């Protein structure tokens, strides 16, 4: 197991508190391993395995307990020593019909500490929020950051990190692709299987999608255009060119379903002059660039999009409020906010010409404030200009705090 302190350090202060710990995120991004890491921490700090009750609801052995009443009765029958805290670990809890009532009843009637995982952003909406009303804490689990990827590879050398970043570009961030030393085609097949599982279980079945073929075309369009501005109308026009119709409302719903399944992450546009956020024509990014590579290929051909996707997901992973900026008819790839601080980022493959340098630096030079402004790329030689930093992307990804320059 690869330790993930970013998440474990959030959970430790919540242990034994009357809060249901809810881990949500894309399938196979490491939620089950996090449950195992929590158990490991508990054992190292004096708890006994006899205090644990663990159920993975994707395991057919527990199929009969996908009913809230049956689950409630079963768990209560397993709790034999009420003088000690019992730790409940429920993996993929959304498979249980009416799980909200069972979870809340166990919380109020038993001496338990509860940890649940799920693969849908709406896990804490509706009934669960009503039943628990301030008694739950949600953590979103992402595929590996580049730093976690290096840890999985056992790398602590700066020069080796630069080489491994090229592998990270190709393989992506899913834990399996980082940890398992298998052939590239096996990794691709694994990622395609995850994709098909998410589309079928978390999108089609959950949302009762009738036209799965139209959904598939919509997702493929989004994957191909990751990091590009588009709308439901853009997709509709594309479908018309393919002799296929799709209503904009339906396409918007499909994009929303993909967001709820943690497959796609939309970023809104930010008018830096007018200080307003546009509500239409967002940029969509993919939870894992390796997944995009597996489904449509072109990792090296679309290197600009892949690099932008990596930076976007790292900003979201870190919890920064992230938008796409506009000033003087120029686009700034990312505007990050943390409290009262801001950070402006341009992402490019290489500053290979004067025209490229002018294109990337000009929008940042137009911003009058004193917040950090940075261009990141894969250039071996750095070219900072007029107070604007230039850093190698893999080094920037390893900075602890993006809002504080480490120069």
Q: What is the CATH number of the domain that holds 121?
A: 3.40.50.300
For residues 116-143, give the mean pLDDT: 82
Residue 76 lies in a domain: yes
pLDDT at position 404 is 86
pLDDT at position 130 is 72
CA angle 99, 104, 106 (to 5 degrees): 95
Domain span holding position 105: 5-141
pTM for the full model? Answer: 0.95
Beta strand pairing status for 136-141 and 264-271? Answer: unpaired
Both tokens of residue 361?
């630096």
Same domain, 312 and 196: yes
pLDDT at position 129 is 62
Q: Which three-class secondary structure state does DSSP give residue 285?
A: strand
Domain boundary among 84, 108, 141: 141
d(CA 299, CA 179): 20
Residue 14 lies in a domain: yes
Residue 115 lies in a domain: yes
Same domain, 175 and 250: yes
Residue 402 lies in a domain: no
For residues 97-115, give the mean pLDDT: 94
Q: How confident is the model at residue 128 (pLDDT cuts 50, 70, 90)?
A: low
- Please, what is the average pLDDT of the chain? 94
Same domain, 137 and 165: no
Residue 21 lies in a domain: yes
Q: How confident is the model at residue 127 (pLDDT cuts 50, 70, 90)?
A: low
Backbone φ, ψ for residue 124 (5° rounding): -100, 20
Both tokens of residue 51?
């205090």
Percent of the chain predicted with pLDDT > 70: 98
For residue 241, pLDDT beyond 60: yes
Instruction: Say how many domains are in the chain.
Output: 2
Task: Dump the DSSP string for 71-121.
Answer: HHHHHHHH---TTS-EEEEEESGGGSBTHHHHHHHHHHHSSEEEEEEES-G
Inter-residue contact 38 to 113 (CB < 8 Å) = no
Same domain, 191 and 286: yes
For residues 258-271, give the mean pLDDT: 96
Q: How confident is the model at residue 126 (pLDDT cuts 50, 70, 90)?
A: low
Same domain, 319 and 349: yes
């Amino acid at each position: 197991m690869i330790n993930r302190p970013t998440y474990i350090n959030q959970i430790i202060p919540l242990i034994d508190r009357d809060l249901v710990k809810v881990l949500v995120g894309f399938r196979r991004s490491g939620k089950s391993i996090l449950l195992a890491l929590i158990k490991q921490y508990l054992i190292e700090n004096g708890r006994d395995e006899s205090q644990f009750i663990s159920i993975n609801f994707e395991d057919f052995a527990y199929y009969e307990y996908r009913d809230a009443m049956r689950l409630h009765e079963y768990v209560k029958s397993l709790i034999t020593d009420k003088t000690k805290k019992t730790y409940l670990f429920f993996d993929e809890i959304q498979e249980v019909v009416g799980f909200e009532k069972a979870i809340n009843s166990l919380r109020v009637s038993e001496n338990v500490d509860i940890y649940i995982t799920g693969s849908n952003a709406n896990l804490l909406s509706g009934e669960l929020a009503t039943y628990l009303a301030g008694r739950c804490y949600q953590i979103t689990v992402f595929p590996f950051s580049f730093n976690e990827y290096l840890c999985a590879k056992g790398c602590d050398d700066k020069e080796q990190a630069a080489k491994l970043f090229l592998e990270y570009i190709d393989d992506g961030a899913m834990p399996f692709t980082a940890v398992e030393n298998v052939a590239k085609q096996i990794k691709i097949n694994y990622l395609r299987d995850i994709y098909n599982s998410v589309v079928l279980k978390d999108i089609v079945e959950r949302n009762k999608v009738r036209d799965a073929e139209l959904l598939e075309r919509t997702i493929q369009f989004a994957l191909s255009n990751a990091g590009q501005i588009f709308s439901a109308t853009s997709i509709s026009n594309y479908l018309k060119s393919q002799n296929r119709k799709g209503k904009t409302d339906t396409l918007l719903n499909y994009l929303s379903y993909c967001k709820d399944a943690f497959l796609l992450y939309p970023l809104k546009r930010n008018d830096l002059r007018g200080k307003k956020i546009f509500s239409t024509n967002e940029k969509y990014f993919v939870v894992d660039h390796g997944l995009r590579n597996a489904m449509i290929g072109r990792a090296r051909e679309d290197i600009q999009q892949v690099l932008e996707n990596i930076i976007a997901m790292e900003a979201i992973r870190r919890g920064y409020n992230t938008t796409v900026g506009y000033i003087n008819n120029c686009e700034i790839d990312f505007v990050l906010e943390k409290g009262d601080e801001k950070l402006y980022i341009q992402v490019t493959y290489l500053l290979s010409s004067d025209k490229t340098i002018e294109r990337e630096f000009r929008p940042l030079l137009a911003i009058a404030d004193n917040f950090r402004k940075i261009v990141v790329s894969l250039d071996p030689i750095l070219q900072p200009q007029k107070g604007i930093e230039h850093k190698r992307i893999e080094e920037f990804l390893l900075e602890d705090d993006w809002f504080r320059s480490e120069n």
